Amino acid sequence: MAEDTLPVLYSFRRCPYAMRARLALHASGMAVEHREIELKNKPARMLTASPKGTVPVLVLPDGKVLDESLDIMAWALQAQDPLQWWPKDPLRLADNMALIEANDGPFKQALDRYKYPHRFGLADGVAWREAGAAFLLQLEAVLASQGHLAGEQTGLCDAALAPFVRQYAHTDKTWFAAQPWPRLARWLTQFEASAAFAAIMHKHRTWIDTSPLVVTIP
């Protein structure tokens, strides 16, 4: 595929939503043009493609825009899935999606308030840390019965959740390490030491749009 016909990915290195999208793209082997952005200076071309202004954004060669991380994961893994990350069994897929929904809903709410309490007018995030911990104990229970969150091998659910669990763990590493979730801690350590994580965390220069943005007026 020629470079000018590659899908274009707008991303921010540390965003967990963008991380999960990059993980799926990397696992699929799909080539994309990576455009690293600054969240405080979002390029007009990205905002034209997706006015909501969040990453990741994937612009396909036919002009279709995917601006939800799970949609990007699904697009990549349903197109090419050499590592078999996308569950073929409907029940397994439902289990994966249930964990992802819990992560993206209640756990993400707790994580944001634990990590950034002052953004929400809180003196501290301790109560929300405990709320998040309840979800992580559920993950520990899952890992007690199978090798990975997705099943017996790493897959969709692992890639979708790991960036968020990592963010929670890094908020207070000492506290996290002292908690009763040894399997989860080992799972996270393996993720952070993986070749896939190293590949998707490669540092890109900030993309600067040097071409004129053409807007068609009807």
| Model pLDDT, residue 1 | 46
CATH for the stretch 3-83: 3.40.30.10
Q: Among 49, 51, 58, 47, which Cα is nearest to 20's?
A: 58
Contact, 100 vs 161, CB < 8 A? yes
Count of alpha carbons within 13 Å of 45, Cβ hemisphere only?
18
In tens digits, what is the pLDDT along the chain, a chain of 218 residues? 444 689 999 999 999 999 999 999 999 999 999 999 999 999 999 999 999 999 999 999 999 999 999 999 999 999 999 999 999 999 999 999 999 999 999 999 999 999 999 999 999 999 999 999 999 999 999 999 999 999 999 999 999 999 999 999 999 999 999 999 999 999 999 999 999 999 999 999 999 988 665 555 55
| Domain range summary for the chain, segments of one domain joined by + | 3-83, 90-198
| Model pLDDT, residue 216 | 52
| Model pLDDT, residue 63 | 97
| Model pLDDT, residue 79 | 97
Q: Among 135, 132, 98, 99, which Cα is nearest to 114's?
A: 132
pTM for the full predicted model? 0.93
| Model pLDDT, residue 64 | 98
Query: What is the DSSP code (8-state) at residue 107?
Result: I
CATH for the stretch 90-198: 1.20.1050.10
